[in-house]
Each structure stands twice: as structure tokens, then as C-alpha cells.
Structure 1
């Protein structure tokens, strides 16, 4: 992250929206689920999908500088052509002023029309390797919270729901392009391996490296740590999964 603005805090970038996600579960702390397919929000989640773009913009443009403001669309979002071939997930928090969007991620499904971004940015890593239309790239993974332990929890649930989706839909080899500093952190969460050396990627304004994610090994790790959440997400696909409870002393206590 080459242009981090330390004055932009995690609290600053988390959108707060009006949402009915917790209407039937007012005691729940978090909600996790699929929110869009191929750039079309699931019915009833249109506002949540718009808000997920707000989190992406605030993080990648305002906080970390990984994307330049000139790359934003006319509507102020970082929407790109890959959203039209992606499934998008989000983690929401039941909050005193509304609902907070704490985490988002997407799975880009390759298809037959064009390569994955990692193939374009790191072509040397795929020399002699022909990927199928069901190959996948993990992309736009964001987890934000004022407390580090909660932020890590959000990230775990994002990985769990993505792994569940990959399993449910028989998707195949899964890749990502990440900053080198993130490699060690991810190795403690999922099973990854380098498939190329770090190189400067103009689109992300920084050095990045291509990795492949071992789906069976990663699923085993995440399931073990999260008490079988991948299995729960597989069963609940298309529905919101509720996690945790609000403190009994206040149904809308601000968590700082």
C-alpha cells in the first residue's frame, strides 16, 4: 500500500446504512451473506450492494491509495468489468445508528471470454498453464473494524463464505494477487502458495505477487477454527447467516 493516509481511520471508512437485514433478528451482532451475482444485487439487497461499493472506494482510494481517484466511475464507485462476472459477499454489523458494512469480497469467475486479472498482470505465472472457465480469482477482500480481533473475525467469515460458495458450485483452481506483506498474514488463515515473484502492478500502484489458494486445505483450516461455519454457509447459500449476539445490556450499544 504505497500511499496510506494514516488520518483516515477504520471507523471513517465503514459505511452506516438503513437496512432491514436485522429486522427479524434484532438480537444478532453480525450478518454474513451473498449480496450480488454478476453485478446484480439479490432482491432486497440493492442498498447493501451500493454500500459495499462505498466501502471499497473509501478503503482503496481514500485510506490505502491502492486505486487512483481517476479510475472511479461517474457514479463515484470503483466498479469494473470484473464485477459483471463476480459473486459478491458482505459482512454487516448491527449498530446503534443503523447497519455497518464491515467486510466485502468477490469471486471473479473466469468464464470463456477473457482471462482473470491475475493472468493479465502476471502472464509469466501461467505460461503453459491453461485455466478452465471455472477457475476463480479472489478479489476486493476488505475487512474493517476498530478492534483488530473483530476485524480478523470479519475476514475469517469472508473466507468461510467464499470457500463454501466454491465448494457448492464446483469451482476449480483459485488464485489471487496480493501485496507481499499480506502473504504471511494469509498463511496463518488459509493455505496459499506463490506462483510467481513480486512485481510492480501499475493498476494497484504497488508491488504485488500472484498466489494460488489450496481450497481443500483452506476449507479444513477455516472450518476447524470457525466451528464448521463453511458447512453452515453451504447450507444457507442465498440467505443471510447470523453470527453472535448483541450485549444484553443494550440492544444497540456502540462498540468502539
Structure 2
């Protein structure tokens, strides 16, 4: 059963070495992420599952000890998912979203439950996302989720997806759903609209909705802003 969840954005810019001179601009969201992970640690879960968007090569499960890096973003920085899995053989790298999650866990000194990752493809239909979440929620007596994903990338003229007038209302609906732990609202997110707005968090958020079915968590929205024209949210469910 899901006992706690933290929702964080997954831009590589969260890592100060990647952001370089712009690093201080994202200090508020980094602080919010640290606060959210503290809620996960306090939940004393039996299992932590990190869920994030992934391209074709990064989809599917990633075991504890899986490795990734930020080299694709100009920084020679390696990360590792969790502190176990020492004998895990080298394999495919973590997708960027899970690499950022691994960095967050290392930064906050995660030493709780065993950790595993799941890369979710952006095209995955809402029904399948919810089904995946149900399986995760039923896999252990006390399950926690770290859910990585960004909102729309179309909030300003300089945003990666340029300005789209639908972006702000979409992000506002996501923020309300995350802050209220509204499972049904997350399930109802429009996958096609999310794709058009380049909202990479849609599928992971709907996995969270499936995992939370049958529970009644209290939600808290810790951060809601759009630096660089991209919607970033930090929330906790507990």
C-alpha cells in the first residue's frame, strides 16, 4: 500500500554543476525537493520506487545500484540509484529523469528502504499508467514513490515549446490535483494535450494516481512555478 509520495521536477538543471552560473535561480525548487524527500524518509516504507519519464532505451525497470550520469549535459558526474545493489552488473544507464532522482537521493542522504526505478514512456495511455501504479502500490505492505516529471514547456515565448495559451490552465489543474492528492483529477489528465504541451510528467503522475487508489493521503504543494517557461511542481502525499 502507498504510504507516502514525493513529486519533483526532473530537469538536469536541478543539478548545480549542470546549471552552472544559473544554479542559484533554482535554489527554491531544490529546497522544496529536499523537504519532499524528508517526508518520504519519515514514512519508513519497505520499498521506494522512483518513477520518471523515459525515452525508448530507458523504459522499464532499473534495479537498485543502477548507474547513470549527467555527461550528456556537459558535466562529468556519475550517479547511482540507492545505496544497495553493490553486485548489480553494469547495464543500460538510467534515463535522465531517474539520474536526477538518484542525485536528489544522494544529496539528501537517502538510507531508508531499498530503491528501484521505473522509466515510463511518454506515450503510455492513462489506463496503462494507472494499472502500473496499482501493481506498484500492491507490491509491498508499505510502498513510497518518488515521482519525477515536469509540467508544460510552453508557458512563455522563450520556453522550449514556445508560448501556448493552454499551458497555464493545464499546469494550474496539475498543481491543484497534486496539492489536493486528487487521484481522479490526475487520472483525467488529457494525454494528447499533455503531449502537445510537452508535459513529460503526465504518465508518471498517472502512475502515482494508480498507486494511491484505495488510500486517502493528505496532499501538500510545496512549489509551483515556471522557471524558463516550464512548469515545475513539488508536492507530497502522506
TM-score normalised to the size of structure 2? 0.29
Structure with greater proportional helix content? 2
Computing the radius of gyration over CA atoms, which structure comes out larger, 1 or 2?
A: 1
TM-score normalised according to structure 1 size: 0.28
Larger relative strand fraction? 1
- Using CA pairs under 8 Å that are at least 6 residues apart, name the structure with larger relative contact order, 1 or 2: 2
